[in-house]
Amino acid sequence: MRSESLKGIACMAFGMFLFSGADTLAKLLTSDLHPVQIVWSRQLGLLVGVLVLLAIKGRGMLRSANPKLQIARGVLAVGSGTFFIFAIAYVPLADAVAVSFVAPFVVTVLGALVLKERVGRRRWMAVGVGFLGMLMVIRPGLGVVHPAMLLVVVAATFFALRQILSRVLSGADSTLTTVAYTAITSSLILTVPLPFVWQMPDLSTELPLLLGLAALAACGETLVIKSLELAQAVVLAPVHYSLIIWGTGYGYFVFGQLPDIWTWIGAAVIMATGLYVIHRERLAKT
């Protein structure tokens, strides 16, 4: 069992590394291509993987007890991905990743309000401190951080709503069914505005980046799914924070950007309180 958990952790960590790589390619592409085209290309990789699975496993993989909620999750995936790509066109990658870590706190708040989950005083305090850490990174009103950083907050909220729906769906539908619906729904939605923003990518530079983006995103998603099959979500959740390491590394080596001291402090506060919330959730389930 321990060996399986370690394999799951390794899969999750590598998946986060690939996701950061995909975000880096997306940021490179924002200088020439519309964010909708970039998000569509990213989802295309996942869609191809789902179509391969459908060919192998059959259409039974699409059998859902809650198809409307599955479609809603796909809509939220479009929102979270698009807002994040719009944001990283203007803000450093590591800063955006740090702010995106508020998603677990939003999940806690929505879990209490929507799912009527019991949230103790300590977890509410952790949520408050976590949002304080977010304010340290964004520093609203000081003009230090680009206003586009607020789009990361919107993207994180959409992501949190996706997680809430995932909790609701997990008891009835398999993970593969959820991923299939998300890939198909998001790809169809993004295809609607695509003709209005489409720009033919340069075959020598932009096309390889788009193909790499799709491949990295698809492989990352596959590794995350595999990790959840090998280990419990509460064991894997802290590994998600490795994104700040990869995001900072990519940001420095590719764009020459490093977070300032307040971003580091804010990110540390967000991660510490996030890990505490995960710890409290683990205790609540034992």
Q: Closest by alpha carbon to 135, among 116, 113, 150, 156?
A: 150
| Max CA distance (Å), the chain | 56
* Model pLDDT, residue 256: 87
Q: What is the pTM of this model?
A: 0.83
pLDDT class for 113, splitting at 50, 70, 90? Answer: confident
What is the mean pLDDT of the segment spanning 124-149? 74
For 203-236, the pLDDT digits (tens) are 889 999 999 999 998 888 778 777 767 777 666 7
Task: Enumerate long-range contacts of 5-8, CB under 8 Å, 24 or more apart.
Answer: 5/230, 5/231, 5/232, 5/235, 7/230, 7/231, 8/226, 8/227, 8/228, 8/229, 8/230, 8/231, 8/235, 8/236
Going 118 to 13 to 223 to 24, the CA torsion angle's sign is positive
Tens-digit pLDDT profile for residues 3-18: 777 888 888 889 889 9
